[in-house]
């Protein structure tokens, strides 16, 4: 017997879970997602979210409220008489009337090993902090920020050079499988719920543009983690001197390398090895403003960076 599910999500990360629940035979009675956003060079066209597009392909009803402050919107939600709400990267703060508006409540697919990295940017923060492991969790939602009891967990190793984009793609598939298993257990009346400990709670605050500039005075490992934690978006960046000016360049991939010298100094032009506060990093994939991502060798064909050049 299938569950009656309300699905709530917005970006690409949410789509595999929506599709997996539909493939598992559950009755998705409605999909909620963020409203279409202005796009294009002049912002004249409105683009539907990835979840909106996926839901339409599945023939599902979609609603895009700005919020759930309107009592009529809340009443309409409750009138669906759903068994459960599934929330994956929806992007709206849900009031208690929505969290409690189904038979079993709301369950969230969260990309961390709670209570570590509660909040908006768990994937990026885990890499930037140098974590060796993260994972996906299914938790029952409550009023606090990612504080609800945990139902299921699957850990994922973070490779030494793994970027946020790579981890994102792995976790969204892991999360889809985990949510289907959790809903199977919920349907069978066998889904355990374990309260989160407060010890070890860390908040993954939203990435601020002010922190995206690369600080080569930091240790090499920290610089490397910063670069990969912000790749591909929003991208860690540096300035490369060009005559009396400087070009902003995003660094999308790097490795820790051998070498030492004043922070920010190019030690090996051919290999793009840059000195850090201690140690060095090798920059392996870069992108000029308005350009496409390039491997280091291709980037250097159009940019002269002699040994001794100082990057900022």
Contact 127, 163 (CB under 8 A): yes
Residues 43, 115 share a domain? yes
Residues 241, 161 share a domain? no
Residues 297, 283 share a domain? yes
Q: Residue 199 belongs to a domain with what CATH number? A: 3.40.50.170
What's the residue count for the chain? Answer: 312
Determine the Cα–Cα distance for residues 192 and 244; give it in Å rounded to an integer: 63
Q: Is residue 312 part of a domain?
A: no
114 is in an annotated binding site: yes
Contacts of 120 (CB under 8 A, 6+ apart): 204, 205, 206
Residue ranges of E strands in 125-244: 133-140, 150-157, 202-204, 236-242
Q: Helices marked H in 147-281 — which ranges?
A: 164-187, 220-229
Q: Residue 287 belongs to a domain with what CATH number? A: 3.10.25.10
Least-confidence region, from 33-42, 176-185, 206-215, 216-225: 33-42
Q: Is the per-residue pLDDT at 116 higher than 70? A: yes
Of 203, 236, 262, at which residue does a domain stop? 203
278 is in an annotated binding site: no
What range does the domain containing 167 cover? 4-203
115 is in an annotated binding site: yes
Q: Is residue 84 part of a domain?
A: yes
pTM: 0.95
Of 203, 233, 262, at which residue does a domain stop? 203
- The tens digit of pLDDT for each residue in 247-276 reads 999 999 999 999 999 999 999 978 899 999
Residues 168, 37 share a domain? yes
Tally of domains in the chain: 2
Of 143, 171, 203, at which residue does a domain stop? 203
Q: Provide the pLDDT for residue 43.
A: 62
């Amino acid at each position: 017997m299938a569950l009656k599910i309300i699905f709530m999500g917005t970006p690409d990360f949410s789509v595999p879970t929506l599709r997996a629940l539909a493939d598992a035979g559950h009755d998705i009675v409605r999909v909620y997602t963020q409203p279409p956003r202005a796009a294009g060079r002049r912002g004249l066209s409105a683009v539907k979210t990835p979840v909106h597009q996926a839901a339409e392909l599945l023939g599902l009803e979609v609603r895009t409220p700005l919020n759930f402050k309107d009592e009529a919107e809340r009443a309409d939600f409750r009138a669906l008489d759903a068994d459960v709400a599934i929330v994956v990267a929806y992007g709206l703060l849900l009031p208690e009337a929505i969290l409690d508006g189904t038979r079993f409540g709301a369950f969230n697919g969260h990309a961390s090993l709670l209570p570590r990295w509660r909040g908006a940017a768990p994937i990026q923060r885990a890499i930037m902090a140098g974590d060796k492991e993260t994972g996906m969790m299914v938790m029952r939602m409550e009023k606090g920020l990612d504080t609800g009891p945990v139902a299921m967990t699957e850990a994922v190793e973070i490779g030494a050079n793994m970027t946020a984009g790579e981890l994102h793609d792995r976790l969204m598939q892991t999360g889809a499988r985990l949510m289907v298993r959790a809903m199977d257990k919920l349907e069978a009346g066998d889904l355990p719920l374990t309260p989160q400990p407060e010890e070890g709670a860390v908040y993954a605050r939203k990435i601020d543009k002010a922190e995206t500039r690369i600080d080569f005075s930091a240790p090499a490992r920290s610089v490397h983690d910063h670069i990969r934690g912000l790749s591909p978006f929003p991208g860690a960046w540096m300035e490369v001197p060009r005559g009396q000016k400087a070009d902003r360049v995003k660094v999308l991939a790097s490795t820790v390398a051998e070498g030492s010298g004043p922070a920010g100094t190019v030690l090996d032009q051919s290999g793009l090895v840059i000195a850090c506060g201690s140690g060095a990093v090798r920059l392996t994939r870069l992108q000029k403003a308005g350009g496409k991502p390039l491997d280091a060798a291709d980037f250097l064909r159009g940019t002269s960076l002699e040994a001794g050049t100082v990057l900022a």
